[in-house]
Amino acid sequence: MKILHSLCDTRHFVNEIKKKGLSMGLVPTMGALHEGHLSLVRESKRQCDVTIVSIFVNPTQFGPKEDFKAYPRTMDEDSILLKKEGVDAIFSPSSDDMYPQDGLAATQVFVPELSTLYCGVSRPHFFNGVCMLVSRLFHCIPADKAFFGEKDFQQLTIIKKMVRDLLIPIHIVGCPLIREKNGLAMSSRNRYLSGPEFDEASRLYLALSEARQSFYNGETSSHILTTRIRSLLIRNGYINMDYCVLVNPVTLQEEAVARKGARLLVAGWIGKTRLIDTLML
């Protein structure tokens, strides 16, 4: 497994793959890898000849009061996991390579109508930073396919739109959300949770599942379904809700009437840890 740091080495590696006519899959991550990330890696290996995983804690997607400095960096453990999975290369660039200019002064990529909703309200920097980074990654590594988790459903939808709008010739593959045994969506930030918080966090999935069951029992009012989720989550005040919505999976606009295929999206804080989750009806 190659570890690529410089853009020059990366371009050379990528060109060699192209010359051989091999297909290339890219899995962008911020490291601190878990089974959710590895599921993307396995899907890339299933669909592509060569798999490259990028590991970069992207400064432009963190707000000034967010956890950029504290975000877990576990390169050694990550490399071992990826080697075991048979990954061909890790791309781990420096901030100076990704952002030769100061992040804020650099060219921005912004998907206005989708980036200002939901997570974009409480994290106004977030999707702008994600799009700045992912568009740069796609230029460094012109993969055939790039793999993203449905866990970050708004992010996945925004990246699909960015790729369409900017005519980037990479196929975006959405992969299913992987959960802990208690139902909590796996996330690098779960390691911030204390034992009781980890148990409490499983309520997110339980509440979403109950709402989905109500839908299958005949309830089609989006208002009733989302109100039910909120009341289940805030019952003992442990979870500080950010938002809970039922949306169209392509436009991300809120749906008044629930229908099969619509997406429940929920976000909240347990202590200082922000968690998101999603379930398809």
- Residue choice 48, 50, 89, 177 for contact with ligand AMP (CB under 6 A): 177
Residues 6+ positions from 233 with CB-CB distance below 8 Å: 203, 204, 207, 239, 241, 244, 266, 268
Tokens of 86: 């048979």
Which residue(s) pair with 275 in the sheet?
268
Q: Is 60 helix (H, G, I), strand (E, B) or coil?
A: helix
- Shortest reach from residue 15's CB to ligand AMP, in Å: 26
* Spatial separation of the C-alpha atoms in residues 188 and 2, rounded to whole Å: 24
- Shortest reach from residue 173's CB to ligand AMP, in Å: 10
Per CB under 6 A, does 125 bind ligand AMP? no
- Shortest reach from residue 159's CB to ligand AMP, in Å: 9
- Residue choice 120, 149, 249, 268 for contact with ligand AMP (CB under 6 A): 149
Per CB under 6 A, does 148 bind ligand AMP? yes
| Residue (222 or 273) nearer to ligand AMP, CB | 273
Per CB under 6 A, does 114 bind ligand AMP? no
| Residue (161 or 258) nearer to ligand AMP, CB | 161
Per CB under 6 A, does 178 bind ligand AMP? yes
Q: 3-state SS string over 169-201? A: CCEEEEECCCECCCCCECCHHHHHCCHHHHHHH
| Residue (74 or 221) nearer to ligand AMP, CB | 74
Closest CA to 66 of 173, 192, 185: 192
* Spatial separation of the C-alpha atoms in residues 33 and 77, rounded to whole Å: 8
Applying CB under 6 A, the residues found at the interface with ligand AMP are 29-30, 36-37, 39-40, 148-149, 151-152, 175, 177-178, 185-188
Which residues are marked as active site?
37
